[in-house]
Amino acid sequence: MADVKYTQEHEWIRVEGGVGTIGITQYAQEQLGDVVFVELPQVGRKVAKGEACAVVESVKAASDIYAPVSGEVTEANTGLTDAPGDVNAEPTGKGWFFKLKLADKSELDGLMDEAAYGAFVKSLA
């Protein structure tokens, strides 16, 4: 059963068998507005937890995406090059950004679960 965790920077990570799929949340895409471009990390790159490794651009803003956990990039969602709007349409589905092979599963413990993230977002209002 896939386990979804969340960061305070509004990234989600869904882990299946040691590989995490990462994207931004519904709240984040709403805040950004129409996404026009996504800059993805190269496959093979090793990233540390909290390291900026991708950029999502809307018309008026550019936000860094930080790796929720450490690992090695195994896949990047190149479909976003032609369809950046997927991030707005399905931020947790086809709008995913990249996949990581986790270096240390225990890093997931420090992240929020769905309920905690929901409360966090409410507190921002």
DSSP secondary structure of 23-90:
EE-HHHHHHH-SEEEEE-PPTT-EE-TT-EEEEEEESS-EEEEE-SS-EEEEEE-GGGGT-TTHHHH-
CB 52 within 8 A of CB 66: yes
Least distance from other proteins to the Cβ atom of residue 38, Å = 11
Q: Draw the binding track, 55-94, toward other proteins (x: CB under 8 A; -: no contact).
A: --xxxxxx---------------------xx---------
Coil, helix or strand for 22? strand
**How many whole angstroms separate alpha carbon 52 and alpha carbon 96?**
16
Residues between 14 and 33 that touch other proteins (CB under 8 A): 33
How many residues contact other proteins, by CB under 8 A? 12
Region binding other proteins by CB under 8 A among candidate stretches 4-12, 54-62, 100-108, 111-119: 54-62
Q: Draw the binding track, 31-50, toward other proteins (x: CB under 8 A; -: no contact).
A: --xx-xx-------------
Q: Which positions lie near other proteins, rule CB under 8 A?
A: 33-34, 36-37, 57-62, 84-85
